Amino acid sequence: MRKVVSITGVANVVVVTLGLIVLSLMHGPASSPRTPAPHAEAQKKVEQAPPPPAKPALPGFALPAPVQATEESARAAGANELGLVPVLMYHRIRWDRSASIDRTPKQLRVELERLARAGYVPVTAAEFVEGKMDVAAGAHPVVLTFDDGNPSHFALDADGHPMKDTAVAVIFDVAKKFPSFRPVATFYVNREPFGLKGEDAQKAGVRWLLEHGFEVANHTWAHPDLRRLSNKKVSEQIVRGERLLKKLGVADFSTFALPFGSRPRKGSLGRGGSWDGTKYKYEGVFLAGAEPSKSPFAKGYDPREIQRIQANGLAGDCRRWCSTYWLKWLDDHPGERYTADGDPESLSAPRQLRANVASKRGKKVIYY
């Protein structure tokens, strides 16, 4: 497998500089003022009026029925479960982009449709780090991550459907157009998820996302640069973020994303530690740049510093390090990317890559 040159240090400097902008989070729309109750006659007319047409239901999705992979089926699928997985990192989704890391709803839609046409199927960050990327034979997993819990990621309209042009709405739109595109993503949030005010609203929002297959995960309490904090303060930020999410109904804490991709001076604190009597431990810790991740089964995969790719075009540093470049590179090097064998119980790869297996995760290994 061609070695992907690690540029984490350089990329993280760029991300830290740009990332300061996203700390100024957008607020969700204000609630409508309470209107007086209509008088009896008007109320009677309302009750007699036909109900408004229902909005179409959100597209459903079921994981493909598992197959029992064989050497022949793995070869036919071009399976390579030691290949590279793009973990895409998004920030604000807004029409009036004010920072280079912002993306418009159209840009998000175009990129997701590109992924769908190329045979990518979204999995959550937790599924990735746990090695449970159970997509169909011949398909490629992709991880969609959204940082900072911005209101542009998730909001519901008056009918309880995802608000138009939010990240969640765009994901469902693409899934409706491409039925094999699984509508899931991972949202890394801070102390005010999605700009929702009050614990009840935050609980309802988080519950909606979890019930629809999304992952909501920890991005610290206040989004500080952890490298600038003492060890105790690092753990405090992580624990306070985790306590909030537990209070809001999150039970699975497999993954954590470093604000700005900045690692604590004591690097192990990103993955595990304790504060104020509360312990935490993560299966995977995500950086903020700037290349595809290695497979969790492959040599070189490090759960303490998992690479992500900034979603962006080809301007400036992104000529080499962002999603437009890397998705084309993976298209041009299909043998380098993760391609599934369709069997959750097996791990398949070309025979010449057998020395690259680092973790079988209890799976049967098939070489062809």
Residue 256 to residue 233: CA distance in whole angstroms:
16
pLDDT at 30 (0 to 100): 35
Residue 291 pLDDT greater than 80, yes or no:
yes
pLDDT at 280 (0 to 100): 98
pLDDT at 162 (0 to 100): 98
| Cβ within 8 Å of residue 99, ≥6 positions away | 18, 21, 22, 91, 92
Give just the sign of the alpha carbon dihedral 3, 325, 170, 120. negative
Name the residue ranges covered by the structural domains of the chain: 85-312
Mean pLDDT across 308-318: 96
Residues 174-218 have pLDDT tens digits of 999 999 999 999 999 999 999 999 999 999 999 999 999 999 999
Q: Which residues of 291-316 are buried (b: 16+ CB within 10 A; e: fewer)?
A: bbbbbbbbeebeeebbbbbbbbeeee
pLDDT at 48 (0 to 100): 52
Residues in the chain: 368
Residues 233-281 have pLDDT tens digits of 999 999 999 999 999 999 999 999 999 999 999 999 999 999 999 999 9
| Cβ within 8 Å of residue 175, ≥6 positions away | 59, 61, 181, 182, 183
pLDDT at 13 (0 to 100): 42
pLDDT at 356 (0 to 100): 98
pLDDT band at 223 (very low <50, low <70, confident <90, very high): very high
- Structurally, what CATH architecture does the domain formed by 85-312 represent? Alpha-Beta Barrel (3.20)
Residues 5-53 have pLDDT tens digits of 444 444 444 444 444 333 333 333 333 333 333 344 444 443 454 554 5
Mean pLDDT across 154-180: 97
Q: How many CB atoms lie within 10 A of CB 155?
A: 21
Residue 306 pLDDT greater than 70, yes or no:
yes
Token pair in block for residue 10: 């350089």
Residue 187 to residue 257: CA distance in whole angstroms:
10
Residues 40-98 have pLDDT tens digits of 444 444 345 455 455 556 877 777 788 999 999 999 999 999 999 999 999 999 999 99
pLDDT at 51 (0 to 100): 53
- pTM of the full structure: 0.86
pLDDT at 26 (0 to 100): 39
